[in-house]
């Protein structure tokens, strides 16, 4: 029995906010937390599990990493390099379906969060 990818220990940083990146990652085993620095503290944005990916913005933009991703317990993560992945998508565009689905899902979640925040503000 064996895992694929690279192991990270609990608390180990996989992606650092502000760093430049040229790859995305897929969680093979375990969980990771997505954090953003706010007022000197880390604000948890999401917890991702097996099959989830992160760092995908680096495939489409040349911006720095928008969040930090840290291992929650022992984790195995597989790296997909930008160049080879984009070449694969060029050969088979449907390979990007899942990323588009996830990104669409995240936009929907953000819309809901924004609506809730606006509702809270108007209720004050």
Kindly list the residues in this chain that would bind another protein in the complex (CB under 8 A): 1-6, 26-29, 50-51, 53, 78-81, 84-85, 88, 92, 94-99
Tell me the C-alpha distance between 49 and 77, whole Å: 10
In terms of CB distance, is 8 or 67 closer to another protein? Answer: 8
- For residue 60 the two structure tokens come to 């489409």
Tell me the C-alpha distance between 53 and 78, whole Å: 9
In terms of CB distance, is 8 or 35 closer to another protein? Answer: 8
Q: Phi, psi at residue 10, to the nearest 5°?
A: -50, 125
Output the smallest distance, CB 102 to another protein, in A.
9
Output the smallest distance, CB 23 to another protein, in A.
9
- For residue 120 the two structure tokens come to 């809270």
């Amino acid at each position: 029995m064996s895992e694929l990818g690279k192991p990270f220990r609990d608390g180990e940083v996989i992606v650092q906010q502000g760093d430049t990146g040229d790859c995305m990652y897929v969680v093979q085993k375990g969980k990771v937390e997505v954090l953003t620095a706010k007022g000197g503290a880390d604000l948890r944005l999401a917890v991702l599990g097996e099959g989830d990916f992160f760092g995908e913005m680096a495939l489409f933009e040349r911006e720095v990493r928008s969040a930090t991703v840290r291992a929650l317990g022992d984790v195995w993560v597989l790296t997909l390099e930008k160049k080879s992945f984009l070449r694969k998508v060029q050969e088979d565009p449907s390979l990007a379906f899942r990323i588009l689905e996830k990104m669409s899902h995240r936009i929907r979640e953000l819309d809901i969060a924004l609506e809730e925040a606006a509702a809270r503000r108007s209720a004050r």
